[in-house]
């Protein structure tokens, strides 16, 4: 079944084997930009959305640094615009998830939850997922006060106290967003220097609802049916303490969604797919774009650019092959 970002089914396909010229895995900015470019090259690309329609950007409340939107744009709204534009030129967006790939021969074989595809070219834009603290109580209390998405869950913490773990852009951006609802936002960081950019830092420092606990890690999340507090440890003094809170928002980096490609594509530390500047992977005909290959920029605009580049290169790849056949 196909869906628009608004959740409306748009088309349907049976579960039989489908042969496509370009298959795109992932529906974030990289995947949908690749779809736009591949569609305009008349390659009729199929996008498999994965579990997160719109990717991580779709979960962002307001994106203020995507060019062309001087007042900012909602993450899901931008995703819908990306999708609409790609569909206008013939891209098909399928609500389906790849579960296995065979990249040992072309066409590549991709098994999904709903069927199977053969693809002449593959663009991987499966993104990344938030890292977990891996402390007692985290797993048990996820959805009961532990969250990895302020946009999704912030509303539940109206007039409540929350803590945010992390010191990067995500921690501060999401922490500031939480001040709309929460009575206080305590940012717990393991060092005394933030990794986040200066603009976010000055916004956070000047917000009366935001306060910081430095040089401190969360060692456990406390509560039975819901979060009631966190256990803390000062990494300099070793001193332990507890802090009462209603919610714990964790923003400590990401892990790329690449398990499926292990042993088939060259990867570097952290499981990111290795690409060259043309978005080519170690397997000819397979391209990667966005956060699955990039742990440095991680911006909507850079991911979109990589998606476009991957599709342009996939087009050249298929054209060259056609030229050889003639």
Name the residue nearer to ligand NAP (CB basis): 288 or 312.
Answer: 288
Q: Write down the least CB distance from residue 300 to ligand NAP, Å.
A: 9
251 binds ligand NAP (CB under 6 A): yes
Q: Write down the least CB distance from residue 196 to ligand NAP, Å.
A: 7
User: Applying CB under 6 A, what is the total number of residues that bind ligand NAP?
Assistant: 18
55 binds ligand NAP (CB under 6 A): no
Q: Write down the least CB distance from residue 165 to ligand NAP, Å.
A: 6
Q: Is 152 a catalytic site residue? A: yes
Site for ligand NAP in 18-47 (CB under 6 A): none
Catalytic residue among 96, 120, 153, 169: 153
Between the alpha carbon of residue 284 and those of residues 100, 102, 106, 120, the distances in Å are 18, 13, 9, 10
Q: Write down the least CB distance from residue 251 to ligand NAP, Å.
A: 6
Catalytic residue among 16, 96, 120, 152: 152
> What CA–CA distance (Å, rounded) separates 145 from 157?
9
- With CB under 6 A as the contact rule, the residue among 75, 167, 175, 256 that binds ligand NAP is 167
- Buried/exposed 217-252: b ≥16 CB within 10 Å, e otherwise: bbebbbbeeebbbbbbbeeeeeeeeebebbbbbbbb
DSSP string spanning 94-160?
E---EEEEE-SSSSEEEEESS-EEEEEEEEE---EEE-----TTTTTTBTTTEES-HHHHGGGGTT-
Q: Which secondary structure element, helix H or strand E, spans residue 13, and what is its range?
A: none
The residues assigned a catalytic role are: 149, 152-153
Q: Which residues would be at the binding site for ligand NAP (CB under 6 A)?
A: 65, 133, 165-171, 173, 190-191, 195, 217, 251-253, 298
């Amino acid at each position: 079944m196909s869906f628009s970002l608004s959740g409306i089914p748009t088309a349907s396909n049976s579960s039989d084997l489908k042969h496509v010229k370009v298959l795109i895995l992932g529906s974030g900015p990289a995947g949908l930009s690749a779809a736009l470019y591949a569609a305009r090259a008349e390659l009729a690309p199929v996008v498999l959305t994965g579990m997160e329609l719109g990717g991580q950007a779709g979960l962002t409340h307001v994106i203020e640094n995507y060019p062309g939107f001087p007042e900012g744009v909602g993450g899901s709204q931008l995703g819908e615009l990306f999708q609409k534009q790609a569909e206008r030129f013939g891209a098909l967006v399928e609500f389906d998830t790849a579960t296995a790939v065979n990249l040992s021969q072309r066409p590549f074989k991709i098994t999904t939850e709903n069927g199977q595809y053969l693809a002449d070219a593959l663009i991987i834009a499966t993104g990344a997922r938030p890292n977990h603290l891996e402390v007692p109580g985290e797993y048990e209390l996820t959805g009961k006060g532990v969250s990895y998405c302020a946009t999704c869950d912030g509303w539940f913490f109206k007039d409540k106290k929350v803590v945010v773990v992390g010191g990067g852009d995500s921690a501060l951006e999401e922490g500031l967003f939480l001040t709309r609802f929460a009575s206080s936002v305590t940012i717990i960081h393991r060092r005394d220097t933030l990794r986040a950019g200066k603009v976010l830092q000055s916004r956070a420092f000047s917000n009366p609802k935001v306060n910081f606990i430095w040089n401190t890690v969360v060692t456990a999340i406390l509560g039975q049916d819901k979060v009631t507090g966190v256990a803390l440890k000062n990494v300099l003094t070793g001193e332990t303490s507890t802090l009462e809170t209603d919610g714990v928002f964790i923003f400590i980096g990401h892990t790329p969604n690449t398990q499926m490609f292990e042993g088939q594509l060259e990867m570097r530390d952290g499981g990111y797919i290795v690409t060259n500047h043309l978005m080519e992977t170690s397997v000819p005909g397979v391209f990667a774009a966005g956060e699955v290959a990039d742990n440095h920029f991680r911006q909507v605009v850079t991911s979109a650019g990589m998606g476009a580049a991957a599709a342009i290169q996939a087009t050249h790849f298929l054209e060259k092959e056609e030229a050889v056949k003639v």
